[in-house]
Amino acid sequence: MSSASSPADPRNRGYFGPFGGRFVAETLVPALEELERAYREIFPSESFQREWRGLLADYVGRPTPLTRGERMRVLLDPSGERLSALFYKREDLCHTGAHKINNAIGQVLLAKRMGKARIIAETGAGQHGVATATACAFFGLPCEVYMGELDVARQAPNVARMKMLGAKVIAVSSGSRTLKDAMNEAMRDWVTNVATTYYCVGSAAGPHPYPSLVRDLQRVIGEEARAQLLSVTGRLPDAVVACVGGGSNAIGIFAPFVDDAGVALFGVEAGGLGVETDKHAATLTKGRIGVLHGAKSYVLCDDDGQIIEPHSISAGLDYPGVGPEHAELMRSGRATYLSATDDEALAAVKQVAEREGILLALETAHSVAALPRVLDALMAAGRSKAIVVVNFSGRGDKDLGTLMERLQPESASSGEGGAS
């Protein structure tokens, strides 16, 4: 099953079933058409692909490893009857610490070839901001990053990294002061400076061609994972699991498996304080169809169509929309979307740190937290002794402030301590 036509196909207007499209101000249409031409003509060219993939190897550090998670497998299924092997695709080991650099280095290279003199971006968790600032430093282009005030406070390490890389970080004080509002301000900037500025979108969302472009820059994750699994196990996995906010890491690992009917795809959204409350960011689980940031997809909104402010302990999942390709994967039944709460994600960070020696980003931890429900679904479908791959989309250094605040009381009460 192919969700959309190829970038070289002139009929591709960015629809995935009924979702996607381009719902923007007229002033942005020429810029999007210019980007669409670059996506069709420059992106697939041998010259671009050679340079971009060379940078992925020599600068980003690809391919990333596929790590076997034996101690977590035993925790989840001691008998091995439900889960025979658990693997982690280690995007946390990319340069800058997350999958975002795959997309940023590709888009900034594309912008340079298009002759753009200035790069802007939005960021929530800060990883896309860091990745874009990194790419701009590498290519010698100025960079400005929009970030909600709330995220600036809770992601201070990434703010410092962006500034060290030479980027200007613009704190957004409107709305919920999170990712949605940062994207709003970035789009306003782009409208004003469209002739000279390239907007480097960090997720598989927004107006066409961004969802397709970001997917094709991130699908290297799934291409590698597919080849690595075949090499290690001799077969494809039973399931691939990834967290979903806007959806770039998930669509990146899903894309090369979409046509493999035997591989179940599971996206995990932020359940916040619970999907039965109004404090979550589970757009596909609890949202409705609408238009946000230039594309038709699922959104969190009230009966009047007004956007509801999302909530998640993870800044990267704290978004009231989702990429349109994920909406179509859910509608078609090709992918299943679950949710995990803040508390479940925190517990998963602690479990993986203590059992595997890996400090996960809070975003990624949602995927691990949902694994018992993934195994339940696989068993219900008659799949025992499953092989499961989880995309470890980023590392948790950026979340240490939140983790220390939320987990330290538990550590202190355990009675552990002593001289060091």
Q: Residue 2 has what pLDDT?
A: 40
Count of beta carbons in the 10 Å neighbourhood of residue 259: 11
Q: Is the pLDDT of residue 179 over 60?
A: yes
Q: Is the pLDDT of residue 419 over 70?
A: no
**Which pLDDT band, with edges at 50, 70 and 90, does 3 fall under?**
very low
Look at residue 183 and give its three-state secondary structure: helix
- Mean pLDDT computed over 45-65: 98
Q: Is the pLDDT of residue 130 over 50?
A: yes
**Which pLDDT band, with edges at 50, 70 and 90, does 417 fall under?**
very low
How do residues 206-244 score in pLDDT, each as one tens digit? 999 999 999 999 999 999 999 999 999 999 999 999 999
Instruction: Give the distance between the most distant pair of CA atoms in the chain.
Output: 67
Q: Residue 12 has what pLDDT?
A: 56
Tokens 């469209």 found at: 194
Range of lowest pLDDT (32-41, 114-123, 408-417): 408-417
Q: Residue 154 has what pLDDT?
A: 83
Q: What percent of the chain has pLDDT over 70?
A: 94
Domain ranges of the chain: 15-57+100-214, 63-96+219-408
Q: What percent of the chain has pLDDT over 90?
A: 81
Average pLDDT, the chain: 93
Residues noted as catalytic: 100, 122, 393
How do residues 366-415 score in pLDDT, each as one tens digit? 999 999 999 999 999 999 999 999 999 999 998 998 999 998 755 444 44
- Mean pLDDT computed over 11-35: 90
Domain spanning 63-96+219-408 has what CATH number? Answer: 3.40.50.1100
Q: Is the pLDDT of residue 8 over 60?
A: no
Residue 381 parent element (H or E): none
CATH class of domain segment(s) 15-57+100-214: alpha beta
Q: Which residues contact 91 (CB under 8 A, 6 or more apart)?
A: 64, 98, 99, 221, 249, 391, 392, 393, 394
Q: Which residue has the higher pLDDT, 184 or 352?
A: 352
Q: Long-range contact list for 371-374, CB < 8 A, 24+ apart? A: 371/76, 371/86, 371/241, 372/76, 373/338, 374/239, 374/241, 374/266, 374/338
The reported pTM is 0.93
Look at residue 394 and give its three-state secondary structure: strand
Q: Residue 410 has what pLDDT?
A: 52
Q: Residue 420 has what pLDDT?
A: 35
Q: Residue 415 has what pLDDT?
A: 42
Q: Rounded to an integer, what distance in angstroms lies between the CA atom of residue 270 and that of residue 346?
A: 12
How do residues 149-178 score in pLDDT, each as one tens digit? 988 988 888 999 999 999 999 999 988 888
Q: Is the pLDDT of residue 63 over 70?
A: yes
Q: Rounded to an integer, what distance in angstroms lies between the CA atom of residue 313 and that of residue 280?
A: 9
Q: Residue 11 has what pLDDT?
A: 43
Q: Do domains 15-57+100-214 and 63-96+219-408 have the same CATH topology?
A: yes
